[in-house]
Amino acid sequence: MATWFPKNISTYGADIDAMFWLIFYIVGVGFIISEAVIIYAIFRHRKREGRRAAFLNGEKMSEFAWVLVPTAIVFVLDLGIDFAGSSVWSKVKGEAPPTDIHVIVTGKQFNWNFTYPGPDAKFGTDDDLTIENELHVPSNKPVRLVIKSEDVIHSFFVPTLRLKQDAVPGREIPAWFEATATGEYEIACAELCGYGHYTMRGFLFVHSSEDYAKWLAERWPSS
């Protein structure tokens, strides 16, 4: 079933996928048990000659337990998922690994703009470069992003990186990733953001370090 997922090229992708499967199996088992109980009850208590329907107001403890016990089970399983997910959360959302690659991602109707600081490594200077819908990074190096929006809420989604983060107007939200395989991968907007939402498509280009250096030299020839 793992083949249902898009290819994983992210250092933390396997952790995210493991959480997905944990939740999938817990919810799947719960689904099968609850459906089995419903189907059993339908047959066991079906209409029969000479038998009146019972009126249950749920005031007896044995009746109320049908609500209480499942609620308690769901609560305990929720805590288990939170506990299992906390280390993944802190890895993905906590302190990003140090790096010299910083990119500002700006969502707008209906584009992803990627701003590079240029050779001076500072944003807001003359050598900044903004590219539409193309994010170029080297493989096997952490990349730090700051995700912004110019207008409405968007969601920066790179399925192969297992990275999804809302872009919220007025906020600068940090994110990071490290891609492990070179290639060209799809970037989407995962938040319905207007009539052109479906056109909000970009590409992530993961280069080898030599190719990335070449790409940089082409963009900033003077440096």
- Residues 148-167, interacting with Cu ion (CB under 5 A): 154
Nearer to Cu ion, 178 or 193 (CB): 193
Beta bridge partners of 124: none
Antiparallel, parallel or unpaired: β 102-108 and 163-167: unpaired
Contact 47, 38 (CB under 8 A): no
- Helix, strand and coil percent figures for the chain, each rounded to 5: 40, 25, 35
Size of the site for Cu ion (CB under 5 A): 4
State the minimum distance, in angstroms, from the CB of residue 200 to Cu ion. 4
Strands (E) across 53-161 are located at 102-108, 111-116, 129-132, 134-138, 142-149, 154-158
Residues linked to residue 179 through DSSP beta bridges, in sequence order:
10
Query: Can you tell me the distance from the alpha carbon of 127 to that of 2, in angstroms, rounded to the nearest whole number?
Result: 43
Q: How far apart are CB 165 and Cu ion at their closest, in Å?
A: 12
Region 185-214 residues binding Cu ion, contact defined as CB under 5 A: 189, 193, 200
* Smallest separation, CB 130 to Cu ion (Å): 17
Shortest reach from residue 197's CB to Cu ion, in Å:
5
Residue 147 near Cu ion by CB under 5 A = no
Q: Which is nearer to Cu ion, 109 or 182 (CB)?
A: 109
Tokens of 215: 């790409």
Q: Restricting to residues 82-101, which ones interact with Cu ion according to CB under 5 A? A: none
Closest CB to Cu ion among residues 181, 192: 192
Name the minimum Å distance from CB 187 to Cu ion.
Answer: 11
Distance of alpha carbon 60 from alpha carbon 137, whole angstroms: 63
200 or 206, CB closer to Cu ion? 200
Helix or strand holding residue 112 (H, E): strand 111-116
Nearer to Cu ion, 154 or 207 (CB): 154
Residues of this chain that interact with Cu ion (CB under 5 A) are: 154, 189, 193, 200
